[in-house]
Every structure is written in structure tokens, then in C-alpha cells.
Chains A and B, each alone.
Chain A
């Protein structure tokens, strides 16, 4: 191996597969990141005021917690829809069990972040309950459900891996670490069940030649999620830490 593999370069993690490629979820972008022109040096309170009623994730650890809360809301809402759908009702026992368990895990993660953020921030700084639009997903179709599930889980892994070193408080880093490995277990199980080939659980599209998993910065993740159109409620991410 050449070079400095552990150097603190921001560009050494690759987005190996664009969010949209796997699921074919060509839905128009949501209102996410519509407001991105706020000067960085403007005080937080003024920013919020100037944006009217559009929520900003916030700065520092609070911003990262709200970011994770948004992703967990998305996952929880998605799997809740899956369990209401025709595909799940008729799925194989193992797929039914996996999806039911995963739905529970994501709801628990969502409720955890809701409680955790409310414990440290005033209500107006807690990401509200988001509205979702899953009209691009066919919940009666196995391909549509499972490819979207895999997309969300791999995105979750990339999101936590790419946010870990932006976290300040060690407690939050440890909590994120407890969650990301469960997301990775989900991703591997669903990939193994659904994708052809025996090595897709940790496929070469997500694990690179150094044996490192996907990791992408919050801004990249939010753009990818925005492109799916799943999130209807607009919010901004103008103050997230970038290093």
C-alpha cells in the first residue's frame, strides 16, 4: 500500500455508487436545501429568523443529531409503509421477519434521537416530524421495496461513517457507533437476501480495496436524499460542521 492511508484527507472516501442508480428512483427533488445562501458568519438566531419557518438542522453536535434524526425518520417511515404493503404481506418468512425487525429498529432509533435532542435543545431547535412522499416506491413490488431498502441502509452506513469525526461529544460518537453497526447488519442482510451473487453482503461497490466501507459527508448525503424526493418537508443544513 502506498501513500498515507490514514492522512486526514477529506477526499479519500469515495461515493462509489450514486444514490439514484440502485433504485431507479427518478423523482423530482424535494424542497431540501432550497435555502443555502445564508452567510456562514451570521449568528444562528438571526439565520433562523431570516429563513422564516424553514427549519435549519443547526450547528455542532446538535446539527449532527438532527441530521441523524432526519435519516432515522425517513427509514422508520419507509419501513412502516413497507409493512402496510402487499409485497410484505406475501413475502417469504425470512424477508417478512427481517423487514419487521428492521422497521422496529428504525422506529426505536427515531424515538431515541427525538428524546435525546429534546433533552439538550429547546423545542424550536429540534427537527420537526417530517412529511414523506413514497409515491416513487411500489410497495407491492419486491424489487422496488428491497432495492429501496438497500439504498436506505447503505446510505445510513455512509452517513454515520461520514459524520463520526464531525462529532464533538464522545458520548454521541459512541451512540452513533452503536447504531451504525446495526445499520450495516441491515444492509448486509438485505443485500444478501436480494442481490445476486454470494459476496454482495459486503460487495465491492460498498467496500473498497482497502477493506473500508462507504463514508460520505452530511451535505452529500442530504443532496442524495433530496434527490429521491422522499422528504417533503423542506429544511436547511447551512450550519453543519464540515470538519
Chain B
């Protein structure tokens, strides 16, 4: 199944509908998740045409290639956002510039790291930040463009945090672990700030579901259903076998906020699949 067919089925039914009525997209993720991954895999090639996530260099290399794909997604997003004319001057622009600086540095860092380890880095895939028409974040004629920039930034950053977390075990015992952890916490700083920015814009800064930390599996007011897979599983209250609601005086809200949860590789690829413009 190729990616375009997948996206066609996905988008004609769901994504072209209005944000508020896109609940079906959730089901699409569930039904087509595995196909999405299989469809997306050929999109990730190296210079010599190999499929980057199917090299036999082991879990650590695959972890770094996945990280690089995510950083490409983020880096290009912030560059286009800054070029779009959509971002208000002042704090929003300054925040996006700072994040853009970091994401671009992460791309260079990971590419150099992979090359240093004798591995061909994955090429930057073609991205579709409209998710086949669901968003128009760089279009100044779209009255919701800035809100969509905030929506996508939050989704990408919260995904980045969970994605790096999910690869820590694959990097254990390698020299890549510490730098990956140090990128991971930068993504968390970004996530906190874009969540603050979005909450401020919507005047919901005191809303429990729009704080710099994630409450239960709540994506937050104004986040479209297509972003729900970014938050699924964040409601966990058992850590290391200990139910922290039972252990402490706190409820599931505070306990879930206290821990961010990892995403597996396939879950990450499912989340970013709608944003791939790959024509394989």
C-alpha cells in the first residue's frame, strides 16, 4: 500500500472535514496504523537509496534515524513558520526563532553523529504541513493560520519528547545516550513554552489541560482530534509497578502530570504519517 493511497483514504473521509468533526481520524489511526508504517517506510531513504529504518545497524542506529526524521520535521516547520509572515512579532516570533535554532542544530548534530559512526543519515523526506489540506499554517489568508502554527508546534514538541524517551533504552550503553537525553529535555522545554504560548493566545492559561505539563491524556482545548495519538497513554499512574495514586495523597491528575510517557517507533511514525508528502 503506498502512502498516497493511504492518505487518500485517510483524508477524503476525515481530514478535509472541519477540525471539530474529525473524530473519525482517530479510528483511521487505529485501523490503518500498521499500513501507515509500512507505507511510510520507503519514504525514509539514505543517499545510496537504502531504506533508512531498515538498515541492519541495530536498534541504536534506527533510534538515531528516527530522531533525525523528527528533527527534520520540526526544523523545516519552524523555518517555514518564520518565513510565512503568519507569526506575530515579539514573543511568538522570538520563541519560534529560538526553537528553530535548536531544531536545526539537532539536525546537524544527528547527521554528524550518524556519519561519525559510519552510517548514512536518512535524507530529509518531503513534508506536507497541511496534512493533505487539513491545515494551512503558512497561509496568511487563513485566519486560523497562527493558531494552527501553535497547534502543530505543540503536537510536534510533545511528540518529540515522547519519541526520544521511547528510544532511550535502544541507546543505552552507547555514546549516543547522553546527547539524546540532552536533546530530549530541550524538546521538553520547547513543549512547555509552545503550550504556554498557545494557552495564552486562547486565553486558557489557567486551564488544567493547557498547562506546560500534560494532564492525563488530554490534548487540551482547541487541539484537533487528529493530535490525540500524541497524548494517548499519557494518563499512566503506575510507575515501576507502583500505583502512585494509591501511594500518595494525590489523584490521577497530578500523578499523570508528574511523568511523561514514551512512544514506540511505530507510534511515532503513525503520528507523523499525515505530514509526509512522500510520493513513493
Give the A-B pair count, Cβ closer than 8 A. Answer: 215
The answer to whether residues A185 and B189 also contact, given A6-B113, A104-B250 and a CB cut-off of 8 A, is yes
Determine the chain A residues whose CB is within 8 A of the CB of B58 once the complex forms: none
Tell me the chain B residues, 72-95 only, with Cβ under 8 Å from chain A.
90-91, 94-95
Determine the chain A residues whose CB is within 8 A of the CB of B244 once the complex forms: 108, 111-112
User: Complex Cα distance A212/B258, Å?
Assistant: 23
B179, B241, B254, B255: residue with the most chain A Cβ atoms closer than 10 Å:
B179
Determine the chain B residues whose CB is within 8 A of the CB of A171 once the complex forms: 240
Contact of B189 with A187 in the complex, beta carbons under 8 Å? yes
Closest residue of chain B to A1, judged by CB? B112
Contact of B165 with A6 in the complex, beta carbons under 8 Å? no
Contact of A188 with B189 in the complex, beta carbons under 8 Å? yes
Smallest Cβ distance from B116 to chain A, in angstroms?
Answer: 5
Contact of A232 with B by CB under 8 A: no
Smallest Cβ distance from B156 to chain A, in angstroms?
Answer: 15
Contact of B189 with A184 in the complex, beta carbons under 8 Å? yes
User: Complex Cα distance A207/B102, Å?
Assistant: 8
- Our pick among B175, B184, B188 for the contact of A8 (Cβ within 8 Å) is B175
Contact of B206 with A94 in the complex, beta carbons under 8 Å? yes
Contact of A199 with B184 in the complex, beta carbons under 8 Å? no
Q: Categorize the interface residue count of chain A.
A: 35 or more
Q: Categorize the interface residue count of chain B.
A: 35 or more
- Our pick among B105, B116, B182, B248 for the contact of A4 (Cβ within 8 Å) is B116
Contact of B186 with A199 in the complex, beta carbons under 8 Å? no
Tell me the chain B residues, 164-179 only, with Cβ under 8 Å from chain A.
164-165, 168-169, 172, 175-179
Contact of A233 with B by CB under 8 A: no
The answer to whether residues A177 and B196 also contact, given A112-B242, A211-B109 and a CB cut-off of 8 A, is no
Smallest Cβ distance from B18 to chain A, in angstroms?
Answer: 31
Contact of B172 with A177 in the complex, beta carbons under 8 Å? no
Contact of A178 with B105 in the complex, beta carbons under 8 Å? no
Classify the secondary structure of B's interface with A: helix
User: Complex Cα distance A125/B190, Å?
Assistant: 38
User: Complex Cα distance A115/B241, Å?
Assistant: 10
Contact of A202 with B98 in the complex, beta carbons under 8 Å? yes
Determine the chain A residues whose CB is within 8 A of the CB of B95 once the complex forms: 198-199, 201
User: Complex Cα distance A215/B97, Å?
Assistant: 24
Contact of A131 with B by CB under 8 A: no
Q: Which A residues are closer than 8 A to B by beta carbons? A: 1, 4-8, 13, 93-94, 97-98, 101, 104-105, 107-109, 111-112, 115-116, 119, 157, 160-162, 164-165, 167, 170-171, 173-175, 177-189, 192, 197-199, 201-202, 206-207, 209-215
25 A-B pairs in the complex with CB atoms less than 8 angstroms apart: A6-B116, A13-B182, A93-B206, A104-B250, A160-B185, A161-B182, A165-B177, A173-B169, A177-B165, A179-B259, A181-B161, A182-B213, A182-B258, A188-B191, A188-B192, A188-B212, A189-B211, A189-B213, A197-B94, A198-B90, A198-B91, A199-B94, A199-B97, A201-B189, A213-B183
The 3 A-B pairs of least Cβ separation, nearest first, read: A211-B105, A198-B94, A184-B188
